[in-house]
Structure 1
Amino acid sequence: MIVVLSAVLLFGANIAQAEEPLYVSVGQTTGNLYGLYTTSNEMWAVATQRCKDLGWKNLVFIKSADVTSEVYDLMYEAVGTAYYWSPIIGMNDLDNEGRWLWNDGTPVSGYTNWGPSQPDNHRKEDCAALEWPFNTWNDIDCGREQPFICFQEPSEYKRSQIDDRLFSIRKFDVEKGTQEMARSGCKKDGFRLAVVDSDAVIAKIEKSINWNSKVGYWVDGTHNCLNADNCEGSTSYVCEDVFPLVLSNSREDYTVGNTIEIECAGSGVSTVNVKWQRQDGVPTDNIWNEPLQKIEPGKATLIIKSATLEDSAKYKCSAANDIFSPSRGYVTSINITVHPEAIKDAMSP
């Protein structure tokens, strides 16, 4: 295995050179980018500014059930459900008790997700946190120092250049290299030769990778060499990974006795870990149950040989990259419904 010398490229501000989030994930419905920070606990006001200083939009705004589900995926993948966590989120009622506002000034109305008997303003609690693993809100003292969740909306970052791209320096163990050898070297490890198609991508790579100023690096795209006018003979190159999750089929309706088999593959990363999980929907320490599955490098296949009504559930496929820091998570899900045998004919095309 070649040692990875790169940092994670996110957006604008170089998060990798500042404090690293414990976990970063991408919302499959909204496209939001989320980061959980646990290295240093902060008060609400400090955490709000920290998110902005680190290049994020703000503390997370949980304005819909979709965002609630995506934050759940972030927290579950990052910390599991065995321990209690209470990361700060982006809302408060500092100006007017009982009138809750998101940090952007919009009122908390319509969708809410308060826990039982919350908010209760116990000891003047004017800020809010996510109560994990219950995934509900609780009002807290704004002076409490806690972990926090930042977010960025998809309109504020280019996913093709930022979230789905990680870059790493590689080196041949030969005297002279070529661009074709660089392509093959990346492909062998499940990556591709970095595609450089704009000055913005060059800038992001240069800020995040520890360059040798005397070396040229093979790349692909509108440029074939970085850091030098000509890469002829160079033994250094830059790889990138992209690993979207792909399901072999998206069928959600089955009847009793059907065989359900869905492969979930995460392409582009040699060491990506893929797994299926089942969501029971009950906030307990055992909220996710492992379904029957076949796990192979880069993919996992959900297998239900003879479906029953009890197999109706939301199934989540997740992939994580453990090489890069911070680890990134990708999640996709499918809602499977198993119908009684009696309505099989009605379902047939």
Structure 2
Amino acid sequence: MNAPRKRWHGLRAFFVLSALLIGAFAYWAWDRYTGFADTPLAGVQAGDSVVVEQGDSFARMLKRLRAQGVSEGHDLEWQLLARQLAAAGRIQVGEYPLDPGTTPRTLLVNMRDGKVLSYRFTIVEGWNIRQLRAALAKARPLRQQGAQLDDAALMKTLGHAGQHPEGRFLPETYVYTRNDSDLDLLRRAHDALDKALDAAWQTRAADLPLKSKDEALVLASIVEKETGIASERPQIAGVFLRRLELGMRLQTDPTVIYGMGSRYAGNLRKADLLADTPYNTYTRDGLPPTPIAMVGADALRAVTSPADGDALYFVAVGDGSGKHVFSRTLAEHQAAVREYIRRYRAQYGPK
């Protein structure tokens, strides 16, 4: 009787010890696993990222992570975590940030939910098409698909054959990802401009001396270039609209500068004002043939809903503030010009 009982006690002790060892190992494995899942990745720096391309397997994605310097965890741990997070088989194409503090858990959740790295590109009010295209060519990692096209070919590719590109892209900040191209961004900016122009034209004031919304766009581009203070846009628009109503020439320097193109070297001379081009509003009546700059929504609203008044002239104050003096008569304007010259010379020397 004693021998079987001893064997039983020995077996029970063995099973208890085995269970304790298995439990300890399971606890150690779980602790390691959870520690791996929530420990920030080592070896990454601000600005690092990993790209998941179309057709990538989970193993290939892990290989790219390793190439980026990520050494944490065995491949099996990554696979188990992906299954736990329902990310296995659902990782989306795109570029994902590997900033310091990123954990395996947050990275896989981002990949599962498609929270890709985004970039920003701003079209600035008053830019011309040359400035816009030069800035686009430097934007990274925007794919360059239209950089080698001339303006006419570019507009045809965008679906607007025959349309002049100037003023046709709305100034604002656009968010894009690594897979986007310059053409994608320009299409969005063109659509945004069309919507802003339509909205402004639909709410236009009665009896505007403008025949179409395209004419409103042209005048808005002039207002954009003439305005140093945003609040003055409706006043400046009112001056130009009254001049159009009376058959007066607009006589605005930015149109002359635009017509000069690359010949403009930063200083506008009297001879330049007298040199005729299709854009010179000192030598030609009415509006120039196209916009002269990219136009913001505020300038569009200013042209279609101008401020009331009787001013026909304006000139800069000359104190560096960007403000203008508005005048009703030529005599008042000439006095304001003399005061501008006096202030300019006092601050900067002879002009």
Could you say which TM-score interval applies, normalised by the shorter chain? under 0.3
Per residue, is there more helix in 1 or in 2?
Answer: 2
Per residue, is there more strand in 1 or in 2?
Answer: 1
Determine which structure has more spread, i.e. the larger CA radius of gyration.
2
- The alignment's TM-score, normalised by the length of structure 1, stands at 0.21
